[in-house]
Amino acid sequence: MNAEISSVKTLASPVARGNDSIGLRPGEEATNETSSDGESDALEVGQVRGDALQHAERSADDLRALVFGPSWETEQSEAGRVSPFGMFPGYRLVRVISKAGDDLRQEVFALQFVRCFKNIFNEARLGSLGLTDYLVQSVTADSGIVEVVPDCVSIHSLKTKVPGFTSLLDYFVKLYGDLGSMSLEKAQMRFAESLAGYSLVCYFGSISDRHNGNILITADGALVHVDFGYMFANSPGAIEFEQAPFKFTAEYVEVLNGCGSQCYEYFANLFVDGFFAARQHCERILSLVQCIEGTNLPCVGDGEESISDNLREKFCLGESDEQCRRVAMELIESSRENWTTVKYDEYQFVTNGYMK
């Protein structure tokens, strides 16, 4: 039985835009005659249309509130004012999901794996490449707690919450500003950074089951991956359907302004640089993975094949830098709009209702 601590936000639905017949009685037609009454009617019609348009087109703040609700900073501040512990300097509010009937040990390891890459990228002066780590604590063999990542929703939830959702790029434009604006470009850069970071983690960790319920997006435009039940030796249905090195859909490419754009090149360069950084510190990553070999974690498999040996091959240790760069670029090309990614999203939509 799972219990989730969360708050429910209720907002008014958007007001529909008026149609062209607004202000006319049934059967009446607009004429070109001019009169004081006609001018007054025209002004009233224009005002009504303008009011309807203002209600239909939500502002960025309204859209953010609709999708994410109050910011976590606001919620912490409000809770701190009424909490008897709010006056202490070390006060911090954490929202968690309490889980029962789930073995969280693999989830704990997965977050250690993500954290290892995050540290390596920081040491290589690449920043964290948008990687987000959060608390997962296994309490017993079949229970534990998972920290809720603040100010973010799943892409599935985003697509169901935004009225008339068409694409991620359209959502970015509505929330962050018009194409070419500085605010939008900053959000696209955060998206590119997190896409590069998680693409590397997913590739090296053979992480699968990447439907839109397991990929979150933050209020500032970064991606966050959660739920690492399938990695290394295990996959959904044990059929390894997702053959792409990582998820890189046409929708993601569009947010990067398309192939060949400056933002796309920024993502590709970060991916290649992150690949080299992971390669340079591969022994740290391999040592972590070797710690779980011989255990009964699902990701280890039946033990016939060494997951650390398979991982070692991905670092291209015997190749030149130029060959490694070529491999990294080929990973991007083979992942972009890969048909198995498309079909897996379609499968999840049909079977579980996750938006594509």
pLDDT tens digit sequence for 287-307 = 999 999 999 999 998 877 899
- Give 305 or 4, the one with higher predicted confidence: 305
**Distance, CA of 290 to CA of 109 (rounded, Å):** 11
Q: Three-class SS of residue 43?
A: helix
How confident is the model over 208-222, as a mean pLDDT? Answer: 96
Question: Between the CA of residue 69 and those of 98, 155, 156, 194, 232, what are the distances in Å?
Answer: 22, 15, 16, 23, 36
Which residues make Cβ contacts (< 8 Å) with residue 34, sequence separation at least 6?
none
pTM: 0.82
pLDDT score for 129:
93
Average pLDDT, the chain: 86
Mean pLDDT, range 336-350, rounded to an integer:
95
The arithmetic mean of pLDDT across residues 24-40, rounded, is 45
Confidence band, pLDDT 50/70/90 cuts, at residue 41: low
- Cβ within 8 Å of residue 232, ≥6 positions away: 205, 206, 289, 299, 300, 301, 307, 310, 311
pLDDT confidence of residue 258: 96
pLDDT category at 241 given cuts 50, 70, 90 is: confident
Residue 328 to residues 156, 203, 206: CA-CA distances in angstroms?
Answer: 29, 11, 15
Q: Answer yes or no: is pLDDT of 6 > 80.
A: no
For the chain, list the domains and their CATH numbers.
151-352 (1.10.1070.11)
Q: Which amino acid is at 210?
A: R
